[in-house]
Amino acid sequence: MRIDGRRPEQPRQTRVQPGILETAEGSALIEAGNTKVICSATVENRVPTFLRGTGRGWVTAEYGMLPRSTSTRTPRLGAQGRPSGRTFEIQRLIGRSLRTAVDMEKLGERTITVDCDVMQADGGTRTASITGGWVAMACAITQLLKFNVIAASPLRHYVAAISVGVVDGVPMLDLCYEEDSRADVDMNVVMTSAGEFVELQASAEGDTFDREQFDAQLRLAQKGIEGLIAAQRDLVTL
């Protein structure tokens, strides 16, 4: 029995509410247990320098935490002058994960920026950002299709992510903050609706891990992601 009453292989209750911001092309609020992330997607008619004139688009992501998303206050970025290393690591992960979902030729010379702002943090904010960010991006693409900005959908597949960890020797799915801070191995898995991997990051926090442990964790993650993609299918049809 886990700290919040779940079984080891049981993910948290996850809800995704699309369209929460009238100001953005696409948006979604994702809640995974007590973790809440506001995701928005912005479409702009420009691409990074290395893509100009290629006819291809780009997807990028930014990640932030509201000062009181954590149980003690975290100073906001602007006060320190720059995002932390952890922030950079997370936003690069989200960006890479969402890029694989998009056919850049069909998107054309446009950039989609997905902003993931954590309202409340209880573990798994980076994986929730990927799952929710995909929905915000899909909403924005729906708008582009609706207004005939693009002719065909550049969405190639659904993309969702979940964490797995080994706590007190037991592999557990979708860690909350308290579990995460006690885990020996921390693993984040990003997969597509075709059952393929996008990112697979496993880190030994305390003890190192062997192949068998790794395989057990991976099985949990695959199962969890299938559930998240089912939820995405309920909201968006490709």
Residue among 78, 148, 152, 234 that touches its own copies (CB under 8 A): 78
For residue 198, state whether it binds its own copies (rule: CB under 8 A): yes
- What is the β-pairing status of strands 185-192 and 111-120? unpaired
Distance CA 22, CA 45 (A): 20
- What is the β-pairing status of strands 111-120 and 159-167? unpaired
CA distances (Å), origin 215, targets 152, 191, 220: 38, 15, 9
Residue among 28, 94, 121, 183 that touches its own copies (CB under 8 A): 121
For residue 15, state whether it binds its own copies (rule: CB under 8 A): no
User: For residue 64, what are the contacts with CB-CB under 8 A and spacing of at least 6?
Assistant: 77, 83, 87, 115, 116, 117, 118
| 7 versus 111: smaller Cβ distance to its own copies | 111
Site for its own copies in 214-233 (CB under 8 A): 214
Strand partners for 116: 39, 63
| 7 versus 49: smaller Cβ distance to its own copies | 49
DSSP-based three-state secondary structure for 191: strand
Residue among 48, 49, 50, 82 that touches its own copies (CB under 8 A): 82
Asked if 166 and 180 touch (Cβ cutoff 8 Å), the reply is: no
Q: What are phi and psi of 103, to 5 degrees?
A: -85, 105
Where helices occur in 147-183 by DSSP H, the ranges are 177-182
The CB-of-175 to its own copies minimum distance in angstroms stands at: 17
| 8 versus 67: smaller Cβ distance to its own copies | 67
Nearest to 204 by CA among 216, 187, 190, 218: 187
The piece of 8-16, 114-122, 142-150, 166-174 that touches its own copies (CB under 8 A) is: 114-122
The CB-of-113 to its own copies minimum distance in angstroms stands at: 6
For residue 46, state whether it binds its own copies (rule: CB under 8 A): no
Residue among 21, 145, 231, 235 that touches its own copies (CB under 8 A): 21
Asked if 125 and 162 touch (Cβ cutoff 8 Å), the reply is: no
190: tokens are: 């990003």
For residue 117, state whether it binds its own copies (rule: CB under 8 A): yes
Residue among 2, 56, 96, 182 that touches its own copies (CB under 8 A): 96
For residue 195, state whether it binds its own copies (rule: CB under 8 A): yes
Interacting residues with its own copies (CB under 8 A):
21-24, 27, 34, 38, 40, 42, 44, 62, 64, 66-73, 76-89, 91-92, 96, 100, 113, 115, 117, 119-121, 192, 194-211, 214
